[in-house]
Amino acid sequence: MMINVNNQDMIIITISKLKEYEQYQGEEFHLYSGNRITNSEEWELIDQLIQDLKLVRRGLASYQYANRLNNELVKHCDNNATIEEIKRISDIL
């Protein structure tokens, strides 16, 4: 899902998109086979957020970086359950 905000598309991540991402273990080439619900922009954002979560968890990011990441999660995830799910996935992938 993308929401148009001031003529700019904003990517919204949902649990179903995260399930698809987890099913294919983040391998983007699966996007091009079959009927997928996640497009490449959404996939790239999920990738980036997961990488950022790993940096923060490992203590390799500043407080400001972690704070920016939290703001991005709130901005792009449709609800708190989705935020928790992406954090869970970042722990296992």
pLDDT in tens, 27-43: 887 777 777 899 889 99
Question: pTM for the whole thing?
Answer: 0.89
Give the span between the Cα atoms of 62 and 42, in whole angstroms: 25
pLDDT in tens, 13-26: 999 999 999 998 99
Instruction: Give the orientation angle of helix 80-92 with respect to helix 40-57, to 10 degrees.
Output: 70
CA 55 to chain centre: 14
